[in-house]
Amino acid sequence: MFAWVRLAFMALILMTIVYLCLSWYSRSVRREKLEKEFDAGGIDGDRQAFIDKGLEKYSGSLRAKLIWGVYIIPFVLIAILVYVTNFM
């Protein structure tokens, strides 16, 4: 009975690593996009302030929230696999 606790624990650690990497990656992509947008010209004000504002908007966006799927999808997948291998 202990095996699934161990699996869940390992999976949580692994998924946290994946989550951190992915959220950093996605944020970095957005930051670069904002930098390029500003550098293309036509925007008044401070560069850093523009980027910070854009990133703040990104934090509340659906794209940023979708990364939580890293935690959800594996558990859904496991549930489906348990059903398919044993009860179908």
Q: Which residues form the interface with another protein (CB under 8 A)?
A: 1, 3-4, 6-7, 21, 25, 28-29, 32, 78, 81-82, 85-87
Give me Rg for the CA atoms of the chain.
Answer: 19
Which of residues 68 and 83 has its CB atom nearest to another protein in the complex?
Answer: 83
Which of residues 42 and 88 has its CB atom nearest to another protein in the complex?
Answer: 88
CA 27/CA 12 separation, integer angstroms:
22
Can you list the positions of beta strands (E) in 1-88? none
Which of residues 49 and 77 has its CB atom nearest to another protein in the complex?
Answer: 77
CA 79/CA 57 separation, integer angstroms:
35
Closest contact distance (angstroms) between CB of 4 and another protein is 4
